Chain A
Amino acid sequence: MVTDTNPIAMTAVTSVGAAGMPRHHLAIFAALFVFLIAAPFLLYPIFVMKVLCFALFACAFNLLLGYGGLLSFGHAAYFGMASYVSAHAAKVWGLTPELAIIAGTLVAAVLGLAIGSLAIRRHGIYFAMVTLAFAQMVYFFSLQAAFTGGEDGIQAVPRGYLFGLIDLRSNELLYFFVLAIFFAGILLIYRIIHSPFGQVLKAIRENEPRAISLGYRVNRYKLTVFVLSAALAGVAGATKAIVFQLASLTDVYWTMSGEVVLMTLLGGMGTVFGPIVGAAVIVTMQNYLATFGDWVTIAQGTIFVVAVLLFREGVVGILAKWIGKPL
């Protein structure tokens, strides 16, 4: 039995009860909402949508790492596979975008159930290696399967008509659709974290043997959070495929798994808002450094090293320490 707890997750104990949202969280959500309503008029909408997709992806990942204490190094599998399925559903089956996203999400959830039920049989480092290896298997599958289009990916995915009515070819309308998905996802994650289920997760993260001795079926909790995290990562991937009208091997490769770890680490593991900040920083950096080729990879590696050595709580984690309240 493993006795080490997972201090990788932040130890900040939240003082929040399951019932209401503390005032400062409410204020941040409200500010975020106002900013994101205004954002498409200030910034390039496609760019903001990219940030939103990755922020949701990172929040889904953080649900597993930050609150479940489980480091999956293969989250690209759910993100990428959902993006393939949603692209295929929209393009070949002609489904409306919301149905295509649901299809992608379901596949990600099933994939998460299959991989998760095997991976939770190992702990710690082995868990990370197992999830990484299975994700690589999904990558090879995507490379060879007929429907994914191999190296080309699935291109020219139609954005379609939302509910069969609203034409999403307009960037502005699409933006508000993505914004709605983003907020629904974030609030769902917030709810999960602060539910009794979330409290048990944190107990398992802090001391698994004790949680077992208290009578919790630890593996069931771990698997549930794994599937939830995979499904929400799927929502993000499926939405991204509709926004960019493209599903490609990039989304399912291990570099993508590394990126989501980086976003979460940089923003703050085990914080509500950290992954959003981390995703915004990394996506912005990728955009500005895009013309510098491999310097993006070098910069990401450097951020990893610096973050691990100097600020393991992440940007938001440090802020939370300063103001003395969980963020």
Chain B
Amino acid sequence: MFELLGIPPQVLFGQLLLGLINGSFYAVLSLGLAVIFGLLNIINFTHGAQYMLGAFGAWMLLNYLGVSYWWAVFIVPPIVGLTGIVLERVLIRRLYHLDHLYGLLLTFGLALIIVGFFRQFFGVSGLPYPPPPLLTGGHNLGFMYLPNSRAWVIVASLIVCLATWFIIEKTRLGAYLRAATENPTMVGAFGINVPLLVTLTYGFGVALAGFAGVLAAPIYAVNPNMGADLIIVVFAVVVIGGMGSILGSILTGFGLGLIEGLTRVFYPEGSAVVIFVIMALVLLVKPAGLFGRSA
């Protein structure tokens, strides 16, 4: 078998695969943030907690009701999205007339409350979520071993990302959404219920976070803190990509995941900070972000 710079290919491709997995989560989560930011102009700090809610949702369905993973994939995201809709209607809505930073502070507080409750009642040690039978095992591709669970995460997030792109860029509903992002007053004047659109958009973005959480459940332990550090990396991803473009968010997410994987092969000590270093470089060269409009 060939070697690359003294690195066995199994290691290289293994880490690249891990990078793609992380990239899938970055992509789905930053996509949710971008969709929410586009219309609501707030950064949803609760996103990490809602990702955690998705994983716990799957865990609870399995352990309390015996509902399998495959059902959870479809049931949990709408439920998490629904909790988001309640939050938007009851709390977040009240801040639209204020500086956007208040939205950040409010959602940060909400994240503390949600994570605090789950830590209090489920502990911080993490709960195991056994992968369903279909996701155990894997395929030998010759140059590497591809576990089914990981292939599924990548394929599923790609599908969801592209479906989101399709809805926003190619459907009538998406056209309303894009129009409302540009000028909500005008769109309202055409008889479209903009507040409802805002609520649904927030619910959809939150559902994306919940979906990422369900995907994460079998591969990482289900843990109240699982979203906290991840969301900060996703913020960096969002700064790097800029939130102007849907495809841009997806590309940036997967790309940064790959770069992180490569760093883990060649300079493991740097893997935790490589995304932040890239963020610093992007701020120097193109402050608006790779796909961002200058703001």
| 8 Å CB interface, B14-43 against A | 37, 42-43
Taking a contact as CB atoms under 8 Å apart, the answer to whether B101 and A124 are in contact is yes
Taking a contact as CB atoms under 8 Å apart, the answer to whether A129 and B43 are in contact is yes
Which candidate, B112-120, B186-194, B199-207, B249-257, is the interface stretch facing chain A? B112-120
A301 and B113 contact, Cβ closer than 8 Å, known pairs A122-B283, A128-B104: yes
- B269 interfacial contact with A, CB 8 Å: yes
Max chain B Cβ within 10 angstroms of own Cβ: one of A122, A129, A134, A265: A129
A295 and B116 contact, Cβ closer than 8 Å, known pairs A122-B239, A129-B235: yes
- B5 interfacial contact with A, CB 8 Å: no
Max chain B Cβ within 10 angstroms of own Cβ: one of A130, A265, A308: A308
- B102 interfacial contact with A, CB 8 Å: yes
- B219 interfacial contact with A, CB 8 Å: no
Taking a contact as CB atoms under 8 Å apart, the answer to whether A129 and B120 are in contact is no
**Measured between C-beta atoms, what is the minimum distance from B214 to chain A in Å?**
24
Query: Which among A4, A296, A297 is the interface contact of B99 at CB below 8 angstroms?
Result: A4
**Measured between C-beta atoms, what is the minimum distance from A289 to chain B in Å?**
11
Q: Can you report 18 A-B residue pairs in the complex whose CB atoms are below 8 A from each other?
A: A8-B101, A125-B37, A126-B295, A128-B104, A133-B235, A133-B276, A137-B277, A258-B112, A261-B108, A297-B113, A297-B115, A297-B119, A301-B113, A304-B108, A305-B109, A309-B94, A309-B95, A312-B98
Instruction: A8 to B109: give the CA distance in the assembly, Å.
Output: 16
- B273 interfacial contact with A, CB 8 Å: yes
Instruction: A32 to B95: give the CA distance in the assembly, Å.
Output: 35
Taking a contact as CB atoms under 8 Å apart, the answer to whether B106 and A132 are in contact is no
The 5 A-B residue pairs with the shortest CB-CB distance, nearest first, are A304-B109, A301-B112, A297-B116, A301-B113, A298-B116
Q: Using Cβ atoms and an 8 Å threshold, which residues of chain A touch B269?
A: 144
Taking a contact as CB atoms under 8 Å apart, the answer to whether A125 and B104 are in contact is yes
Taking a contact as CB atoms under 8 Å apart, the answer to whether A305 and B119 are in contact is no
A309 and B112 contact, Cβ closer than 8 Å, known pairs A7-B98, A71-B104: no
Max chain A Cβ within 10 angstroms of own Cβ: one of B102, B105, B114: B105
Classify the interface of chain A: helix, strand, loop or mixed.
helix
A2 and B295 contact, Cβ closer than 8 Å, known pairs A121-B283, A130-B279: yes
Q: Using Cβ atoms and an 8 Å threshold, which residues of chain B touch A141?
A: 273
Query: Which among B43, B100, B102 is the interface contact of A312 at CB below 8 angstroms?
Result: B102
Binding site for A on B (CB under 8 A): 37, 42-43, 91, 94-95, 98-102, 104-106, 108-117, 119-120, 228-229, 232-233, 235-236, 238-239, 269, 272-273, 276-277, 279-280, 283-284, 287, 295
Instruction: A300 to B119: give the CA distance in the assembly, Å.
Output: 14
Q: Using Cβ atoms and an 8 Å threshold, which residues of chain A touch B120?
A: 293-295, 298
Instruction: A126 to B33: give the CA distance in the assembly, Å.
Output: 12
Instruction: A26 to B174: give the CA distance in the assembly, Å.
Output: 59
Taking a contact as CB atoms under 8 Å apart, the answer to whether A140 and B112 are in contact is no
Given contacts A294-B116, A303-B109, 16 further A-B contacts (CB under 8 A): A118-B283, A119-B283, A123-B295, A124-B100, A125-B42, A136-B232, A136-B236, A143-B272, A144-B272, A254-B228, A297-B113, A298-B113, A300-B109, A304-B110, A305-B106, A308-B105
Nearest neighbor of B276 in chain A, beta-carbon distance: A137
